[in-house]
């Protein structure tokens, strides 16, 4: 589903964040990519989303080389990926309902369908009573749940969770990770990028370990060892 083929990413003037990184993620997998801060985890997210091109090597999304994929296709790819981020990346001027509905509006979904899907996912995620609140009126945990709702509403084939628990307390952390496991069981591919040792050791799923921009380990049932 996703393939990194000898990917190197160098930021100007000469900072190599990823060095000759190769891995492949198959449909339905739950893969954690771990490493210390600044090791290139977010760069991997940006490369998958086509927000940047690798300096060397290629990134493939469903066999499409992102480097040569046109803009329209890249927009479509982004619309098929559910993203959950440490800083939530919510739209501050939109309400809870509008934040979730926005991703469907971007896809061109009909209004009736949007209402149905948005109501359903907000009900599931427990934010039904806050549909008219703005993100700043929510707690950190609620904001992250809103981000999860936004990721889920498009029924994504893949979810990228980039440090999703970075700003959360242990209770909310547990909640988010449980949710990701549940989503994965339903068949969605999950890529979790984190430096949270406890989560990784508890999950017992595939772990790719990055050190200094290089993959030093890729294990089917890995543990957090850096």
Partner 1 sequence: MFTNISRIIKFAFQDFSRNKGVSIAAIFVLIVTILLVTGLFFFQGIASYLTLEIQNKIDITAYFKEGTPEQDILNAKDEILKISPDIKNIEYVSPDQAFQAFSEKHMGDEVLARALEQVGSNPFLPSLNITTTGDPLQYEQVANTLQTSGFAELIEKVDFSEKKDTIEKVYSITTNINRYGIIIGILLILVAMLVVFNTIKLAVDSSKEEIATMRIVGASDWFIRGPFIIQGIIYGFIAFIFCILISGVFAYILSPKLSVIMPGFGMFNYFLTNFWILVLIQLGFGTAVGILSSLIVVRKYLQV
Nearest approach in angstroms of CB 105 to partner 1 is 5
Q: Is 196 helix (H, G, I), strand (E, B) or coil?
A: coil
What the block records as the tokens of 121 is 């996912």
Is 70 among the residues that bind partner 1 (CB under 8 A)? Answer: no
Beta bridge partners, 3, equal 24, 60
Q: Does 51 bind partner 1 (CB under 8 A)?
A: yes
Q: Exposed, middle or buried: residue 63 (CB in 10 Å: 0-12, 13-18, 19+)?
A: exposed
Among 13, 110, 187, 221, binds partner 1 (CB under 8 A): 110
Q: Among 115, 126, 170, 171, which Cα is nearest to 148's? A: 126
| Binder of partner 1 out of 2, 90, 122, 138 (CB under 8 A) | 90
Q: Which of 93, 112, 136, 221 binds partner 1 (CB under 8 A)?
A: 93
Q: Residue 24, CB half-sphere, CA atoms under 13 Å: how many?
A: 6
For residue 53, state whether it binds partner 1 (rule: CB under 8 A).
Answer: no
**Are the CB atoms for 2 and 15 separated by under 8 Å?**
no
Query: By CB under 8 A, is residue 108 in contact with partner 1?
Result: yes
Question: What is the Cα–Cα distance from 96 to 163, expressed in whole angstroms?
Answer: 21
Q: Which stretch binds partner 1 (CB under 8 A): 61-69, 71-79, 167-175, 215-223?
A: 71-79
Smallest gap, in angstroms, from Cβ of residue 212 to partner 1? 26
CA dihedral of residues 93, 97, 98, 102 (deg, nearest 10) = 130
> Hey, what are 211's tokens?
């050190």
Interface with partner 1 (CB under 8 A), residue from 13, 92, 170, 187: 92
Check the CA dihedral 100-102-106-110 and report its sign: positive
Of the pair 78, 130, the CB lying nearest partner 1 is at 78
Round to whole Å and give the CA distance between 182 and 80. Answer: 19
Binding-site member from 24, 27, 105, 123 for partner 1 (CB under 8 A): 105
**Shortest CB 33 distance to partner 1, Å:** 18
- Smallest gap from Cβ 182 to partner 1, in A, equals 22
Interface with partner 1 by CB under 8 A: which range of 99-107, 120-128, 168-176, 177-185? 99-107
Binding-site ranges for partner 1 (CB under 8 A): 49, 51, 71-72, 75-81, 83, 89-94, 98, 102-103, 105-108, 110, 150
């Amino acid at each position: 589903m996703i393939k990194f083929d000898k990917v190197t990413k160098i930021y100007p003037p000469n900072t190599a964040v990823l060095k000759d990184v190769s891995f492949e993620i198959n449909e339905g997998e739950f893969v954690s990519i771990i490493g210390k801060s600044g090791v290139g985890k977010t760069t991997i997210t940006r490369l998958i989303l086509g927000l940047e091109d690798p300096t060397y090597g290629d990134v493939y999304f469903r066999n499409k080389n992102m480097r040569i994929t046109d803009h329209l296709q890249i927009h479509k790819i982004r619309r098929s990926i559910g993203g959950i981020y440490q800083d939530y990346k919510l739209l501050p001027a939109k309400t809870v309902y509008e934040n979730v509905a926005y991703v469907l509006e971007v896809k061109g979904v009909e209004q009736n369908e949007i209402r149905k899907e948005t109501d359903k996912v907000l009900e599931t995620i427990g934010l039904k009573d806050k549909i008219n609140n703005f993100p700043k009126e929510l707690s950190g945990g609620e904001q992250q749940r809103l981000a999860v709702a936004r990721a889920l509403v498009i029924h994504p084939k893949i979810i990228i969770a980039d440090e999703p628990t970075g700003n959360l307390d242990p209770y909310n952390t547990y909640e988010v990770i449980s949710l990701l496991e549940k989503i994965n069981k339903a068949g969605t591919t999950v890529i979790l990028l984190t430096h949270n040792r406890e989560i990784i050791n508890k999950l017992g799923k595939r772990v790719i370990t990055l050190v200094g921009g290089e993959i030093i380990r890729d294990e089917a049932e890995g543990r957090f060892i850096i």
